[in-house]
Amino acid sequence: MNLIFKNAVIIDKDSQLNNQTVDIQVENGIIKKIGKNIATADGYETIELENLHISKGWFDSSVNLGEPGYEDRETLANGLNVAALSGFTDIALQPTGNPIAEKQADISFLMTKSMHAATKIHPIGALTKNSEGRDITEMFDMKNAGAVAFGDYNKSISDAAILKIALQYVQDFDGLVIAYSQDDKIKGKGIVHEGVVSTQLGLKGIPTLAEELQIVRNLYLLEYTGGKMHIPTVSTAKSVKLIKDAKAKGLNVTCSVAIHHLLLTDNTLTDFDTRYKVAPPLRPDTERKALIKGVLDGTIDCITSDHNPIDIENKKLEFDLAKDGTIGLESAFGALQTLLPLDVIVERLNAAKAIFGIENPEIAEGATASFTLFNPEGNWTFEKTDIKSKSKNSAFLGQQLKGKAYGIYNQGKLILNN
């Protein structure tokens, strides 16, 4: 597929082309020419889109789909198409299928099944067998099959010795450990943030201490063992400070924040709508503002949708029985645009590639063509009809968003919204 993208504004703070309007000529998946007024040639298709902006491809560091095992929630094929239409050239896939991705064969299945998609899967292998926190998995074999990191999705390792061993073991092959941080004893039977709203609603609360205490422990382990640790979806002000201090000490730690934690608070829970039941729980506005500050000052390295499709049978229940999770790919860019500067959004949606060791081609002549196409202008309301995912459990339904992703060019394929 040979293409010429016309009048595209490049958004890339590290490039001399940043904020310049250019044409981009792509031939057989390689950027052949970048310049002004590139003439249309035989065998080329011209792509002209309103207010077209292009950046290096976005990467989501935490995506759940469903297949294998939970295809009623989402399939690999449809989930990857949703990611492409949402502007993501790459996703890190959590090991939450059935069976859980914990062996070389599991990773190979995911890589093979998705090899022809435009959006590329980067599997996360389970850190412990069956994600039960007791025995570490065959991480080296999974790394050889294509796994980019190891963690148990939304499950904290209560046994400090297990996490210590994992951090030591992966250093032999430069592996990355994902340490979801929540003290389950402190959490207890809590289901929402512990505070004024939980008291008013009569719901059992989860104090910020549950997250912060576990982060302190995990950072101490990292300081002792060395290695690399990624702490996903931080949700409190003190968590951000703890990680900032750890970075200042020289620890190799990174972290992410979920989009819903940047935009929503526990005040949304007043109607007991289970779309807002997520893990970690939504916090008060003081915590939300601290997370935004952490993004802006660079303490929080990357932003994730933490996309987690849940079937209606497990979401349309009493609040305490419903599963945690919201989908977030389709609303990701438009939601962030209501809150953060465009250059920060693009940077934080790309930064996790370096953390996870993923190729990140430049937008330059001779480079592999891999980029996101989007329009940062235009306000709109996110409706159910905008959801392409099989599951519809979005916390952003009815929200006013700004700007839309057109799609991506990646793996030699162009995927655009109709």
| CA–CA dist 145, 348 (Å, integer) | 27
Q: How confident is the model at residue 279 (pLDDT cuts 50, 70, 90)?
A: very high
Summarize the confidence of residues 99-116 as an average pLDDT: 97
Q: Read off the CATH number of the domain in which 34 is found.
A: 2.30.40.10
Q: Which tens digits make up the pLDDT trace of 332-390?
A: 999 999 999 999 999 999 999 999 999 999 999 999 999 999 999 999 999 999 999 99
End position of a domain, from candidates 356, 382, 408:
356
Q: Which tens digits make up the pLDDT trace of 140-185?
A: 999 999 999 999 999 999 999 999 999 999 999 999 999 999 999 9
Known catalytic residues are 306
- Side-chain half-sphere of 301: how many Cα atoms within 13 Å? 21
Question: Do residue 69 and residue 195 come from a single domain?
Answer: yes
Question: Do residue 171 and residue 36 come from a single domain?
Answer: no
| CA–CA dist 10, 40 (Å, integer) | 20
Question: Do residue 91 and residue 187 come from a single domain?
Answer: yes
Per-residue pLDDT at 40: 87
**Residue 32: domain span:** 3-53+365-391+399-416
Summarize the confidence of residues 241-257 as an average pLDDT: 98
Number of domains in the chain: 2
Question: Do residue 260 and residue 383 come from a single domain?
Answer: no
Question: Do residue 234 and residue 346 come from a single domain?
Answer: yes
Question: Do residue 210 and residue 343 come from a single domain?
Answer: yes
Per-residue pLDDT at 347: 97
Per-residue pLDDT at 301: 98
CB 62 within 8 A of CB 305: yes
Per-residue pLDDT at 41: 86
Question: Do residue 161 and residue 174 come from a single domain?
Answer: yes
Q: Residue for token digits 């953060």?
A: 340
Amino acid (one-letter) located at 363: I
Say whether pLDDT at 273 is over 80: yes
Per-residue pLDDT at 245: 98
Q: Enumerate the β-bridge partners of residue 414.
A: 409
Per-residue pLDDT at 278: 98
Per-residue pLDDT at 242: 98
In this prediction the pTM is 0.96
Phi, psi of 228 (to 5 degrees): -120, 135
Question: Do residue 67 and residue 151 come from a single domain?
Answer: yes
Q: Of 370 and 14, which is predicted with more confidence?
A: 370
CB 344 within 8 A of CB 296: yes
Chain centroid to Cα 161, Å, comes to 28
Average predicted confidence (pLDDT) for the chain:
97
Q: Which tens digits make up the pLDDT trace of 283-338?
A: 999 999 999 999 999 999 999 999 999 999 999 999 999 999 999 999 999 999 99
Q: Read off the CATH number of the domain in which 327 is found.
A: 3.20.20.140
Question: Do residue 102 and residue 226 come from a single domain?
Answer: yes
- Side-chain half-sphere of 157: how many Cα atoms within 13 Å? 30
Q: How confident is the model at residue 1 (pLDDT cuts 50, 70, 90)?
A: confident
Contacts for 16 with CB less than 8 Å, ≥ 6 apart: none
Say whether pLDDT at 36 is over 80: yes
Q: Which tens digits make up the pLDDT trace of 198-243?
A: 999 999 999 999 999 999 999 999 999 999 999 999 999 999 999 9
Helix, strand, coil share (%) of the chain residues, nearest 5? 30, 25, 45
Question: Do residue 71 and residue 130 come from a single domain?
Answer: yes
Per-residue pLDDT at 418: 75
Question: Do residue 375 and residue 408 come from a single domain?
Answer: yes
Q: How confident is the model at residue 101 (pLDDT cuts 50, 70, 90)?
A: very high
Question: Do residue 176 and residue 319 come from a single domain?
Answer: yes
